[in-house]
Structure 1
Amino acid sequence: MSTGLVDHSLLAVLTLREAWRRVRRRLHTGPIHRWRFAGGTSGKLIALPPNLRHGDPMIAEAIYAGRFHFAGQLLEPGRTSIFQSTPPSAAYAVELHGFDWLTHHAAAGDALAGQNARALVDDWIRLKGKTIAGPPFEPAVAARRLITWITHADLLLAGAEPGFYRRFMKSLSAQARYLRAVVQEAPDGTPRLLARTALAFASLCLPTASGRVKIAAQSLSDELDRQIFPDGGHISRDPSAIIRILADLIPLRQTYLGQGQPLPKGLYSAIDRMLPAIRFFRHGDGALALFNGAGVSDRHLMTVLSRYDETLGEPISHARQSGYHRITADGTIIIADTGCPAHASVSSNAHAGTLAFELSSEASRIVVNCGRPITEDADWRRLSRSTAAHSTVTVADRSSSHFARSASLDRFLGTPLVPGPTAVTLAETGDRCLGFDATHNGYERGFGLLHRRRLLVSPDGNEVEGTDRFEAAGAHTSAATALSATARFHLHPGVNVETAGAGVRLSVRDQRWLFETDGELAIEDSIFFADACGARRTLQLVVPFDARDLNGIAWRFLRER
């Protein structure tokens, strides 16, 4: 079957599923059922969960001055409310209506920040809270808002007038009822898990029947058991998803304990698995590996989360269910994607980076992937997800996984990753060196080829060597004509590059590495998206070769000091 037919069939299935999900959600929230979300007002909050996220008082000051900077875009509404302005992008609307930015007001901690936060929440209740439609009521956005309002209720209610108090509590209760009605229709993956988490918070913090506490706990446990792999990874294969999920689950665990409620087994087990996974995906400088949607690292939050990790010893070397490999040798760290892409239904942030790797040494990253952009620019986001934006090999400038070829489909489906590698083989090496020998079949349908990458690290961490070559897949036979392939090694912006004979010397801080290859080597421009200040120019080492050549290429990084 051709690649096009497979892509079209999968996209058709995804489109039908998404259309039916939206119909079900609309039925749940239509005029006939909307009366269910109205009702009595909860008298008072029973508990206030802790907040692990770190805010910046300067951002709170900017918001007070009317500068709303979300998703890499700035909006200054002037005298009108920000909630009357048209968001410049869908990502902007998600951040705005999710209210996570209240963390910055909490960090400011003064009366002025509290008044500004209260005024903005009151604006939202008045302008958006009565019409259950659009981005503010996407399940994930509503869930994030519910958690944030409950978490920062002390900021919002301190010194509040009785009228605001009643409006706030009435809105909280209505949003909780709304989430209970639509949680089953939330998109799979983190949106549905976030909705279940929000309902567990609501069951503990808002007056409710004891049976609802048990139902919310069991539903959350079941969802965690389904979405969190035994190795601690998430079904989306996005390392940064672990951080976001834990930032909610740990305060939730503390709230259960503080309220004297039984701790759901699934919650306890998931946290216990996920905390060591953070260490698995971190480099020597504390940053998260840039795979499948990971971007700028929230190092403060990761440091806070790590305090709850009571496990000892080095991280595991192979996250089997998540599909990643980690090699550590005397300060040298390799993290590689050695798994199949996430299922299409949870792949909206997935990247076509199978067999890509990142290299760090001590507190310096050297070889990286480009990472996820701060802004949601469609062209940049698509580029960042391509195979060429990863430190691996492309064939004929094509990605090993595919994306929808229609902007309208992307918007409707949430930019899923469609057919890519369906089989990845992996064999670990344990003789003189540490490493792996892996193959993937992402280029089988288009070219009849399997990509094989062998990567080895010396026990002292001073040498990283690898080979890349292609093999005929199954009954396919190698064609006589040449076929271009390109191995790319994207460098972190902090790495300085200079030619050294036939190779290049890479300098970073007090370290110096030599890169050599038996192929033709070129130094080309690249872009590093995962920087807090925005996209940065950097360089990449590029080694073109013939995919039909059974010998492929060999390369190595040698630490000189």
Structure 2
Amino acid sequence: PPVEHIFSFAKRLGITHQPIEQGITTFEQSGYSRLQKDDRIILLDHGNVGPDYLPGHAHADTLSFEYSYKQQRIIVNSGTSMYGAGKERLRQRQTPAHSTVEFNQQSSSEVWDGFRVAKRAYGRLINASSSNESFSLKASHNGYKQLGNQNERGEHQRTLTLDEHALIIEDIFKRSSKKVDKKTCEGTIYFHFHPEVKIEKLNPHLVKLVIDSDTRVSNQKSMLIKTEDMIKVKEGTWHPYFGMSIPNKSIAVKMSKNSHITVIEFESEN
């Protein structure tokens, strides 16, 4: 139901709420956290797939996030358009369909068939901190400690920092074995965009985002995504409702080392 209906029902039950305008909100039991700085909002998933006894609807989406500016969604996850068994159902549940990182060509949780999960990631919020200038969340999951051989195992750690000018995303792959710390992991960072966000690749390490909407963002500004490694633009689909599939764009960044920083900022008007 629309959020307005939920608020209206809550009011009839005598439940009140205060709008959140700035700062960090964390929900450790559900495993979600929220960052807001002015008109920019981040939602981060650092929880476990679940419930533990029946995780059939779970996706391998740990440490994925969504990003909105004013009333416009910018970065999204791909969503769900179907149930049952099949290649497309499996693809929508796997890690590359979400705005997070896939390591060693394996999903963070072992999803299979239509409603099955085997070895799974357990997430945790490490730290939430704030200052006058920025808000930051650091979280990790252990999904890759269980998969692959000894050289491939490790922990994904992600830090999101939202300041006056940018969203800074730091991804680190911490290996389980100290003997292979210098070995580069095979990590790919994925960002999926709302269909109203258009992408222009300016150079191998820089893309421009333009919001193609006149209704949600007035005096809109374009955004830039800067990465340390090369960016590949991909065609994809977004599934906001069951049975719906809308073409969109995504980018994939192959990590050249075990840590990577991505910066998303507004384009300068100069």
TM range (shorter): 0.7 to 0.9
Instruction: Give SS of 1:384's match.
Output: helix
The answer to whether structure 1 residue 464 and structure 2 residue 171 are counterparts is no
State the AA in 2 paired with 1:455: L
* Aligned match of 2:6: 305
The aligned amino acid for 2:187 is A
Alignment match, 1:428: 128
Pick closer, same or farther for the CA change 1:423–1:533 going to 2, 3 Å.
closer
2:224 pairs with one of 499, 504, 514:
514
Give the partner amino acid of 1:453. Answer: R
Which structure shows the higher helix fraction?
A: 1
Q: 1:314 aligns to what?
A: 20
How far residue 313 of structure 1 moved from its aligned partner, in angstroms, is: 3.2
Check 1:439–1:533 CA distance in 2 against 1; reply closer, same or farther (3 A cut): closer
Q: Distance in 2 between matches of 1:419 and 1:529?
A: 26
Q: What letter is aligned with 1:391?
A: S
Superposed displacement of residue 346, structure 1? 2.5
How big is the shift at 1:481? Answer: 4.9
Deviations 1:161-200 (A, max 9, x none): xxxxxxxxxxxxxxxxxxxxxxxxxxxxxxxxxxxxxxxx
Aligned 8 A contact 1:388 1:397 in 2: no
Task: Report the CA distance between 1:558 and its aligned residue.
Answer: 0.4
**1:497–1:506 contact (8 Å) kept in structure 2:** yes
Name the counterpart of 1:453: 158
- Quick check: which has more Rg, 1 or 2? 1
Q: Are the equivalent residues in 1 in contact too, given 2:80–2:241 (CA < 8 A)?
A: no
* Contact 2:108–2:121 under 8 Å retained in 1: yes
Q: What whole-Å deviation, never above 9, does each CA across 1:13-71 have from its counterpart, x for those lacking one?
A: xxxxxxxxxxxxxxxxxxxxxxxxxxxxxxxxxxxxxxxxxxxxxxxxxxxxxxxxxxx
Letter in structure 1 aligned against 2:160: L
Matched with 2:191 is 489
Match of 1:127 in 2: none
Alignment of 1:280-359 (within 5 A): 298-299=1-2, 302-309=3-10, 310-314=16-20, 317-359=25-67
Asked if structure 1 preserves the Cα contact closer than 8 Å seen for 2:175 and 2:181, the reply is: no
Deviation at 1:482, TM superposition (A): 4.1
1:476 to 1:424, Cα distance in 2 relative to 1, 3 A: farther
- Seq. identity, %: 23
Question: Scaled by the length of structure 2, what TM-score is found?
Answer: 0.84
CA offset at residue 343 of structure 1? 3.5
Cα displacement string for residues 288-334 of structure 1 (whole angstroms, at most 9, x for unaligned residues): xxxxxxxxxx43xx321112342223287101100011001111010
Check the 8 A contact 2:28/2:125 in 1, yes or no: no
Once residues 329 and 382 of structure 1 are traced to their aligned partners in structure 2, the CA distance between those partners, rounded to angstroms, is 35
8 Å contact 2:82–2:89 — kept in the other structure?
A: no
Cross-structure match for 1:444: 145
Tell me by how many angstroms 1:457 deviates: 0.4
Match of residue 264 from structure 1: none
Extract unaligned runs of 5+ from structure 2: 11-15, 214-219
1:393 alignment counterpart: 101
- Pick closer, same or farther for the CA change 1:400–1:533 going to 2, 3 Å: closer
Mapped partners of 1:493, 1:553: distance in 2: 26
- Kindly indicate whether the alpha-carbon contact (under 8 Å) linking 2:208 and 2:225 is maintained by their aligned counterparts in 1: yes
**Structure-1 separation of matches of 2:250 and 2:31:** 25
Name the structure 2 match of 1:417. 117
In structure 2, C-alpha distance between the alignment counterparts of 1:374 and 1:389, rounded to whole Å: 14
C-alpha distance in 1, partners of 2:136/2:244? 34
Which secondary structure does the structure 1 equivalent of 2:207 belong to?
strand
CA apart distance, 1:443: 0.5
SS of the aligned residue for 2:89 comes to: helix
**2:216 alignment counterpart:** none
- Contact 1:504/1:515, CA 8 A, preserved across alignment: yes
- 1:211-290 to 2 correspondences below 5 Å: none
Alignment-derived partner of residue 378 in structure 1: 86
Partners of 1:374 and 1:529 within 8 A in 2: no
CA distance in 2, matches of 1:314, 1:479: 42
**Does residue 530 of structure 1 match 2:240?**
yes
Residue 452 of structure 1, CA deviation: 1.2
TM-score normalized with structure 1 length: 0.42
Paired letter, 1:556: V
Cα separation, 2, equivalents of 1:392 and 1:377: 24
CA deviation after TM superposition for structure 1 residue 375, in Å: 6.0
Between the two structures, name the one with larger relative contact order (CA 8 Å, sep ≥ 6). 2
SS of the residue 1:443 aligns to? helix
Q: 1:382 to 1:445 in 2, by over 3 A?
A: same
Following the alignment from structure 1 to structure 2, what is the Cα–Cα distance between the partners of residues 341 and 325?
Answer: 15
Tell me, yes or no, if the aligned pair for 1:359 and 1:368 is still in contact at 8 Å. yes
Q: Is the 8 A contact 1:519 1:554 kept in 2?
A: no
- TM superposition shift of 1:477: 3.2
- The structure with more strand, counted as a fraction of residues: 2
Distance 2:122 2:43 in 1: 21
Structure 1: unaligned runs, 5 residues or longer? 1-297
CA distance in 1 between counterparts of 2:255 and 2:171 reads: 10
SS in 1 for 2:146: helix
Q: Which amino acid in the other structure matches residue 313 of structure 1?
A: P
Cα offset for 1:463?
A: 1.1
- Contact 2:190 2:252 survives alignment (8 Å): yes
- 1:529 Cα offset (Å): 1.8
